[in-house]
Amino acid sequence: MSAPTVGVVLLTQGTRPADLLRGAESLLAQTGVTLDIVCVGNGWAPAGLPEAVRTLELPENLGIPAGRNAGAAVVQGDYVFFLDDDASLPDPRFLADAIALLGRDGGIGLLQPRVVDPSGAENPRRWVPRIRKGEPDASGNVFSVWEGATLLPRSVFDRTGGWAAPFFYAHEGIELAWRVWDQGLRTWYAGGLVANHPAIEPTRHAYYYRLNARNRVWLAKRNLPWPLVPLYVGSWTAIQVLRWARRPAALRAWFGGWADGWRTDAGERRPISWRTVLRMTAAGRPPIV
């Protein structure tokens, strides 16, 4: 029996060479799979990598989702795996075990592992993509993913239309998860599989808050039936106002992006079906929050 084939997209801007090499080496250490790996340099010519890793230079930084899509377009395999340059795989059986899990449960269309800081630092709760975080090693259905280490069958990824390139940064993992659910499949958080990532709190600038809000509106406009669009955006507006009530600068930037989201083109509209809305609701997360 031949080993499963995986196209791997390793994304970087070239700012973390040591981490990038660690991630590449962890991929090359994988057993039980055949890999086609490309390192995508978002505005950078990748260098200093093992010969087995192909490279793709993008002349400018196209953003995280578009960079991933560029890599996916040039790799081959029955599965596609996305790894950010500050992430790595501590277990050489990670990909083989993840693919075996997909084989045992044909209803899973997208898999995110548990994310662990290798130094033992406390892991951010945001890495568990559930409203009720619970125990981080508990597996289950989810409706968004932490995008830094994600695995899909190639056919499923192609049917999603790829990552949301116009987003540039933020919320592309929600859209991808929704589009998997819309195929009659599920997005799965695999608590028994581990990827490593440093537990560093990202710096929040006005640009972050603006994109966060703009993409939240775009997410709804691109993916939800029209009656749900104001409900989804309204619920998240209330959440952000409560969350940042004592941070007026953050709220000003957020509402600037919110307004931008309504008045600008969100790109291709592919609303999920009402049947998918019902499935997601029955699974615990109606797409209005």
Domains of the chain with CATH codes: 5-196 (3.90.550.10), 206-272 (no CATH)
Task: Average pLDDT across each block of 10 residues of the chain; the chain has 289 residues. List them in order.
Answer: 94 96 98 98 96 97 97 98 97 98 98 95 89 90 97 98 96 98 98 94 80 97 98 96 90 95 96 98 94
Can you give the pLDDT at residue 75? 98
- Determine how β-strand 54-58 pairs with β-strand 34-42: parallel
Can you give the pLDDT at residue 203? 63
Task: Give the separation between CA 33 and CA 52, rounded to whole angstroms.
Answer: 14
Q: Which residues contact 240 (CB under 8 A, 6 or more apart)?
A: 213, 251, 254
Task: Give the separation between CA 277 and CA 285, rounded to whole angstroms.
Answer: 9
Task: Give the separation between CA 107 and CA 39, rounded to whole angstroms.
Answer: 30
Task: Give the separation between CA 3 and CA 34, rounded to whole angstroms.
Answer: 6
Amino acid at 266: A
Can you give the pLDDT at residue 200? 79
Tokens of 262: 């309504």
Can you give the pLDDT at residue 207? 85
- Give the distance, in angstroms, between the CA of residue 85 and the centroid of all CA atoms in the same chain: 13
Residue 46 near residue 16 (C-beta atoms within 8 A):
no
Tokens of 135: 């125990």
Q: What is the pTM of this model?
A: 0.96
